[in-house]
Structure 1
């Protein structure tokens, strides 16, 4: 049992704002299970629940220096989780509406202009989500997808390991899949190749 497991949430939050990785690990271990159960109950999909939890903790770490958790870590995490669940549900509705509109466009080919407008809007949404990726992750992802560099070339260009490149691309794809919905994600990935 580590000394961190004996600390209060308030103490862990204070250490987290100081970039203490062990405090972060303790928060993760303390809350990941119960947060997953809560997310799974709402989303009824274990992969989506895992992605939401993963995104929540990435965001917690990325914003650690700006955190202002005065009362309860659990309340903060549940609120952040609830907001992410709402985002997933909202994206599903948008995806469903988008798929319905695609069906209509296939039937009524006279509306090609409308399709092009939607495609342009979709491209803007995708670009916006790519721009929202953490800086290093975005840089690696863009070098891979836009400049078609392989992992070795990216690693040499950025002075990082190929394994880091691979992890960054995998994480970027997971985040984009979660944020954009699987159908939009697949369309985007196939357009790149």
Structure 2
């Protein structure tokens, strides 16, 4: 290396010298160690980009070690990522349930009846009931939202619940 080049890698001439000196070595190291499937050319370029981004902290004497370490770690991270991908591919999605076809049919029929009874409620009851039971709002929040008293909201919810209970056998809500 010529003596007029200083040890600051951030200078274009110094970085060019480092690139010309070590790029083939880094590429060959990655290619022979891991093979072509891990893109040794790309990893070499990425290592030099990292060197450029860290040029103020890496000295010229440490550049070679930095490049080889960074490139090797990138390939190892890719290998680790591929192992995770393979493990997830081995897991098969659940294609069956433990419920019987009769249960699934009954569930669908109950849902249809539930929607029908909900639609038959007057709007005030339905809105108060759904705000409370589906969205989990408290009676006081619903009263404030609808602009009525809390007692009115309670009446609407409980009257809707009684209609649902009467129309749908076995209807329970927690």
**TM-score by structure 1 length?**
0.43
**TM-score by structure 2 length?**
0.47
Larger radius of gyration: 2
